[in-house]
């Protein structure tokens, strides 16, 4: 569903079984690439969202080196686990883009976590869409435009919802105002996972094929 500004909303795209299946895949990723607490560049202030990644590239941040993509987990030093086929398949199904996603950022929101209004600008190719998958507690998603002063809208994202950002939305301001603790029983520990699938390099960037 086109909701304007380049935002496409797919409410309830994943049924309960599909949500459970994705959750199991994410838990398996986190068993080898555990959630860590990212630090803001400069201030070193911890973010309230904890993070990990799968796929060839992972988004990370720390005090000294700031926002970037890298191939390895900042704490274990291991390469990120492969992107599960079910996530790559959603990208292929929904994103009209001639190359696979290179990064799936895993955000975990506890009851008090939030994410301030920001733009995603660390990728090389802004023509690629971004796909967001919500699992667990509901979240109040704030959607703005390409300029910080643009008006914003709020959308309540529910477990199983997908949002695709194309065109203007790809470069638009957005954030998570808060989650709604206890609104979903999907995660036994409570809270919310958001999976954000991105292309980091242009469509012709070649990935090494292991041999």
Interface residue with ligand MD3 among 56, 194, 197, 201 (CB under 6 A) is 194
138 sits near Fe ion (criterion: CB under 5 A):
no
200 sits near ligand MD3 (criterion: CB under 6 A):
no
Q: Side by side, which strands form the sheet with 7-10? A: 2-4, 7-10, 162-165, 130-136, 192-198, 103-109, 50-54
Q: Are 129 and 164 in contact (CB under 8 A)?
A: yes
- Tell me which stretch binds ligand MD3 (CB under 6 A): 12-20, 25-33, 165-173, 200-208: 165-173
163 binds, among Fe ion, ligand MD3, none (CB under 5 to 8 A by kind): ligand MD3
The Cβ-side half-sphere exposure at 34, using a 13 Å CA radius, reads: 5
165 binds, among Fe ion, ligand MD3, none (CB under 5 to 8 A by kind): ligand MD3
The footprint of Fe ion on residues 76-135 (CB under 5 A) is: 120
Closest-CA residue to 83 (of 199, 211, 162): 199
Interface residue with ligand MD3 among 19, 103, 172, 184 (CB under 6 A) is 172
- SS3 state at 32: helix
Q: Are 196 and 131 in contact (CB under 8 A)?
A: yes
Name the site residues for ligand MD3 (rule: CB under 6 A).
Answer: 105, 107, 115, 120, 130, 132, 139, 163, 165, 169-170, 172, 174, 176, 194, 196
């Amino acid at each position: 569903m086109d909701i304007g500004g380049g935002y496409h909303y797919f409410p309830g795209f994943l049924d309960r079984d599909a949500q459970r299946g994705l959750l199991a895949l994410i838990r398996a990723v986190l068993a080898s690439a555990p959630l860590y607490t990212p630090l803001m560049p400069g201030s070193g202030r911890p973010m309230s969202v904890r993070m990990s990644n799968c796929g060839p590239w992972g988004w990370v941040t720390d005090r000294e080196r700031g926002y970037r993509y890298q191939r390895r987990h900042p704490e274990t030093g291991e390469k990120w686990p492969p992107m599960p086929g079910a996530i790559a398949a959603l990208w292929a199904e929904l994103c009209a883009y001639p190359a696979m996603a290179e990064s799936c950022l895993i955000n975990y929101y506890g009851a008090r976590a939030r994410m301030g209004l920001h733009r995603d600008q660390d990728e090389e190719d802004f023509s690629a869409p971004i796909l967001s998958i919500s699992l667990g507690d509901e979240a109040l998603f704030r959607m703005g435009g390409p300029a910080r002063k643009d008006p914003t809208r709020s959308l309540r994202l529910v477990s199983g919802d997908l949002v695709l950002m194309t065109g203007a939305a790809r470069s638009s301001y957005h954030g998570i105002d808060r989650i709604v603790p206890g609104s979903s029983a999907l995660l036994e520990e409570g809270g919310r996972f958001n999976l954000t699938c991105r292309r980091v390099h242009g469509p012709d960037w070649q990935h090494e094929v292991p041999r």
